[in-house]
Every structure is written in structure tokens, then in C-alpha cells.
Amino acid sequence: MKKLEALVWILICGFLLSCSKKDSPEPDSPDGPPVDNSSLSFSHLTVNGAFNGFDYYGLVDKPVLKITFSKPIDKNTVSEAMSLKSKSGVAVRLTVGYEDNDNTIVVTPSDALAYITPYVFNIQTSLKSSSGRTLLSAITLNLTTGFDPADKFPRISDEELLTLVQRQTFKYFWDFGHPVSGMARERDSSGDIVTTGGTGFGVMAIITAIHRGFVTREEGLARIQKITTFLKNKAQRFHGAFPHWLNGSTGAVQPFSTKDNGADLVETSLLMQGLLTARQYFNGAGQEADLRNDINSLWNAVEWSWFRKDNANVLYWHWSPDYNWDMNLPVRGWNEALITYVLAASSSSHAIPKSVYENGWANNSSFRNGNTYFSVQLPLGPAMGGPLFFSHYSFMGINPMGLSDTYANYETQNKAHAQINYQYCKSNPKGFYGYSGDCWGLTASDDINGYKAHEPTNDNGVISPTAALSSFPYTPEESMKALKFFYYKLGDKVWKEYGFVDAFSLHEPWFASSFLAIDQGPIIVMIENYRSGLLWNLFMSCPEVKTGMRTLGFSGPQL
């Protein structure tokens, strides 16, 4: 029985094998070409000899693209299947060569590509092999060219360059100041919307301009008188504090958001920082004395202690006549608002005690950091320091050099913050094209997608010139390298009527066309503090400020 079963199994196998042979195609004739049943696909590609996926940055002149395929290419199908176009749709002529028995296409632009421009290279599925097989899937490469390394403007001395930047940036506040109020427009497209904090920066910019000879003392005095008269007689106030935005013609509140239609204590403090600096500068008789009286009237009217909201040990940022304290944002550190607590403690009429500073701003020391980033220890604030405006806004008037309190040495704090920001951009952990020791600076500014608080922990490849340039007192060598790169290498891509544009990205690439008062002002003022200490010396000479800072526990050569 077992032998019979074995015989049957052999017969079945033989039958199946026979059927298999009959159903399969006949083998190729030994004298004929082999039949190619596989599809055409690419197996390797490089741009300038390197493989980096499908996105390439910093390319210059005529990049060399090599694409290797699984089979020799039908040259007659290449010109129709392949294209290189700018993102705006302009086609680029190509030169094509072949290697590896036509398995590899070598492509170069016939003419040099434009600088800082995105291009798209495509190979469509209409490409065929020499045996007639079509490309399995299309190939798309994104190619972005780099900047032109040639200087765009003649070289001048470093001091001349600093003066040029201050002069050109000052035009934002002088030529573009609101015609009725004299206040600083929020941005170059704001129309009648003026900003209180930005106006405080603008007042300090005017004082710098007088000092540098851009305008006369009489011209500067007249403009600041115009501003203070408007603030005193037309601008809406709430318990002495101003809103974030005003209508520059009428003085009415321009809501910053639905519930932010009343007092903004932090913006008010930035305004008062500028006005007190002006009060100390204009020390003469007559109209200068009148200006000082107007500034004192505005300064003494701010009810700083009222913003404790029911006597709490913290200051609150907003109050609205319609929504009361609904914004509910306590002013706690570390951020740009140290000036708010300093002025609140310095007030002759509505001062806060030290306990509000300790429990509110310092939040019982919870704003300490102490960690090390890029070998730099950071005393206060968020990881890697946050956006750089934290070290600019309050310190346009407050001189941090040698200044200390219970929590930090503020020279150490601000230098560490700027150095960490610089080192982050230099190391470029996210690989954004353009970041380097010459091109750095992350802070809040306009962005490709609106507005963004750029910082090492919130980085999308956008550089804000104000970040590095307003850090001159803290990183003079690094800031000068950035200034020279922005001015000489990027040239008129970023250098415009009112100084440097608000932000740019070489990675995308993208360049803002905008200018913002809160970004232009610190450039002028902090460069001047680096050069002469002018604004620091004036603000720190205020007797109320000295008293207030001592009350809070500050010490230093300025006090």
C-alpha cells in the first residue's frame, strides 16, 4: 500500500511540473535580446557631490545634480521630462550630460542661479529607459541658493558704521512719527495706531539723535514737547496708566485685543522710562523746565500700587474699564518687565513695598535658573534665556553693569543671555541655512507666518537684526560681526529706509518688509549705551530711581 501511495505522489508531481512548464513563457532565444520586465527607478542622487535627501540649501552659481537610475536612459525623453524653475515659475535652461553607460544623468544650470532664491527641480514619469520602461515615480528636489559673499556697500570704519545705523534707524521715529501726536507708530503700516512703549523708546532715540548731531537740541525738544502735550491733554489714561495702543490723532484707546482696551502697566513703564530719561536730559530753563513739569505730571499720576489688585503682593499687567481684571495676568519674572517693578518702587506718589517685588516679580525666587548652556551659566529665566528682548527693554534705562540684588548680578545675567543666544545660533542644532557666528539673533519679531517670539527653544530659522544689534553692550565683538554681515553681505535685502528690516530667513528664504518701533528703538539706544552710556547715565541719575532700586535691594556703582 505504501508503495502504491508513493507511485501516485510521483505521478502527481510529474503532472504538476509538466503543467508548469507548459504555462510558463518560452525562454529568450540565445541569439535575441533579454526581455526587461522591471520598472525604471532612481537609485542614487547627489547635489554638488553630497546626498541630503530632497532639500538643499546654500547653493551657489551652477550646482551639479547627478541622478543615477536602475537602467540606461532614453536620451530622447530627457528634455521633456526634466525641468528647473524658480518658485515664481521662471524656467532655467539646463545642460545635460551622461555617465555610467547612460545610467546617470548629470545636470547643471546653463547660467548661474540667482542668489537667495528657491528653485524646484523636477523629473516627471514621462522619462523612459532605453528599453521603453517609464519612471516609476517623479523626482522633486528643493534647491535654495545662498547669499552673495561680495560686499554690497563700500567698507567704512566701525565707528562710522555704528553712526550710520543709528542715523538711519532714527528716521523711523523722526520722519515716520505720527504727524498729530508725534508718537511712534506701532509699525510702518499702522496708520493712526501709535504705541506707548515704542514711544518711550522713540524719546530715548531722539535724545541719542541730539547727542549724535542728527537733529538739534531745539528740534528734539519740540518733538518731545509735542508728544508729552498729547499724552497729557488727549491720550486716554486709566488710574494714570496708558493703554498699549492709542489713536495718534484722537488719543482714544485702540484695543490691543478684545479685553485689552484699558491700562497696560508694562507699556506704561516703558513709556515712563523714556520720559524720565528726557526729564534728566533737558535740564535748562524756559521750555525745558516746562517739559520737565509735564513729564513729572504724567509720572506722578501713575497709580502703580493700585495695580496690585486688592493689595496683592504682585502687580497686574492690565486693567479695563469694561472687563476690570479679566485679563488676569500677573507681572512675574523673568521677562522684559523688571522696569515695571523698579518704577513702581520709585514712585513718589504710589510706591510699592519690597514684598511685592519679592513675592510678585521674583515669585519667591522661582525665576532662578542656574543651569549651564553652551558652557555659560544663566542665573535667571527660562531655559536658554528666552527671546533676547528680555535683556533689552528694561535695560535701555537701567544700567546692568555691576548691578546686583539678592537674586543675580545683572551684568552677568544679560551677558550670559546674549552669549547663549549667540552660541546657539553658531552651533545651529536644527541645521538652518545661514546661521553662523556672523548671522545670529533670536527675539520676538515679525515672522514668515505672522509674529513669533523666536528663541532657542522656539526657533524656526528666522533671524531678527534687533536681537544681535541691541546686544552690543553684552556681546560687542559678536554683535559687530553680525552688523557687518547684515550690512555688507546681505546689503539692500535687509537695509532699507528705516534701517534694518524686522526679520529674515536665509533658509526659506524670506525677508520682512516691515519695521516695528519696539525693535528699531532698542537698536539705536543700546548701541548708544555701548558707545557712551548716555541713556544709562541719564535714567540712573533720577533720584527717585536710585531710592526705589535701593528699596528693592539693588546695589552697584550707579546707586
* Homologous superfamily (CATH) for 158-551: Glycoside hydrolase 144 (GH144) (1.50.10.140)
**Residue 118, amino acid:** P
Identify the H or E element spanning 6. helix 2-23
pLDDT of 31 above 80:
no
Residue 38: predicted pLDDT: 76
pLDDT band, very low/low/confident/very high, at 149 (cuts 50, 70, 90): very high
Residue 37: predicted pLDDT: 57
Q: Are 129 and 99 in contact (CB under 8 A)?
A: no
The answer to whether the peptide bond before residue 334 is cis (omega within 30 degrees of 0) is yes
Nearest-angstrom CA–CA distance, 549 and 352? 12
Residues in CB range of 208: below 8 A, 6 or more apart: 166, 170, 524, 525, 528, 534, 535
Among 520, 260, 514, 542, smallest CA distance to 392 is for 520
pLDDT of 3 above 50:
no
Nearest-angstrom CA–CA distance, 283 and 235? 25
Tens digit of each residue's pLDDT (9 = 90 or more) over 36-83: 557 899 889 999 999 999 999 999 999 999 999 999 999 999 999 999
Is 1 buried (19+), middle (13-18) or exposed (0-12) by CB count in 10 A?
A: exposed
The C-alpha cell that represents 73 in the structure block? 536612459
Residue 22: predicted pLDDT: 36
Write down the domain spans for the chain: 42-145, 158-551
Residue 2: predicted pLDDT: 37
pLDDT of 255 above 60:
yes
| Helix, strand and coil percent figures for the chain, each rounded to 5 | 40, 20, 45
What b/e sequence results for 411-422 when a residue is b if at least 16 CB atoms lie within 10 Å of its CB, and e otherwise?
A: bbbbbbbbbbbb
Among 191, 111, 208, smallest CA distance to 537 is for 208
CATH code linked to domain 42-145: 2.60.40.1220
Residue 21: predicted pLDDT: 37
The CA-atom distances, in angstroms, between 80 and each of 93, 286, 468 are 12, 80, 48
Measured in residues, the chain has a length of: 559
Is residue 524 classed as helix, strand or coil in its secondary structure? helix
Task: Identify any residues that bridge with 46 across adjacent strands, giving them in sequence order.
Answer: 66
Is residue 292 classed as helix, strand or coil in its secondary structure? helix
Residue 421: predicted pLDDT: 98
Q: Are 397 and 340 in contact (CB under 8 A)?
A: no
Residue 30: predicted pLDDT: 40
The mean of the pLDDT values for the chain is 93
